[in-house]
Amino acid sequence: MKKLNGKVVVITGASSGIGEAMAKEYAKVGAKVVLGARQADKLEALCKAIEADGGQAAWIATDVTKQEDCKALIELTVERFGGIDVMICNAGISMRALFDDLDLSVLHRLMDVNFWGTVYCTKYALPYLQQSKGSLVGISSVAGIHGLPGRTGYSASKFAMTGFLETIRIENLKKGLHVMVACPGFTASNVRFSALTADGSQQGSTPREEGKMMTAEEVARIVAKGIRRRKRLCLMEAEGRATHFVKKFAPGLVDKIFYKVMAKEPDSPLK
């Protein structure tokens, strides 16, 4: 991660989970981190902790569903540090419900945060990333590679993110911009607890065992490695790599495996 020394890194969804871990890990190696999230108190405390350890950080309350908030995040970054080397679109929410039972407002919410949040931040960060020949990173999921039952809105938003970022990559082939789609496996973070149910309420608990998941710190380190290597797709665990490979030859088999695995979750919406 030492390659991030001196780099200006913008992170959305930075108040907890993967975003918080990236902020701490990257600041430790000398990155200048700029943090955006809705919870101002947590961002302020995180920045103070980073600065107390000798790091450089700035923050601004950011709701990525609001275009003006995303613009303000980028403007603060450029005002404070003069440019952007890495833009990490990490803010995201999940869901757990069958589409049969789902209030469509839940899908709108997922798309607003996961997809449009990425679009808005990319729009305003792009000129500075082109100038620095930097990295644009979207924190996606295996659900953005193959449809995940019980997570229609989540999969749809992550597929949309992937398509958007891949197109940005192609449009910038001659400009030196690096674009990476990062796909963690199930990660021990607050996203699962705040996942939306069929009516839009938060589930408040996770059906999966924390001890068997990736840690947010592991994800942060793997993302940094992917940035250093300027990877296109960053798959972080065996299940994700297997899904990506097997889908090319036997997509129907992946359907059956995903159904079986998700049906085994406690209180699974799959019958």
| Whether residue 154 lies in the annotated active site | yes
Q: What are phi and psi of 130, to 5 degrees?
A: -65, -40
Q: What is the DSSP letter of 39?
A: -
Asked whether the beta carbons of 83 and 51 are under 8 A apart, the reply is no
> Which residues on adjacent β-strands are paired with residue 235?
183
Tokens 């970022």 sit on residue: 165
> Which residues on adjacent β-strands are paired with residue 57?
33
Radius of gyration, alpha carbons of the chain: 18
Alpha-carbon distance 253 to 255, whole Å? 5
* Nearest-10 Cα torsion for 131, 157, 224, 54: 80
DSSP secondary structure, 47-111, as one string: HHHHHHTT-EEEEEE--TTSHHHHHHHHHHHHHHHSS-SEEEE-----B-B-GGG--HHHHHHHI
CB atoms within 10 A of CB 85: 21
Q: How many residues does the structure list for the chain?
A: 271
Q: What are phi and psi of 67, to 5 degrees?
A: -55, -40
Alpha-carbon distance 172 to 136, whole Å? 11
From 26, 120, 128, 154, the catalytic residue: 154
Q: Could you give the 3-state DSSP secondary structure of residue 118?
A: helix
Residues annotated as catalytic are 154
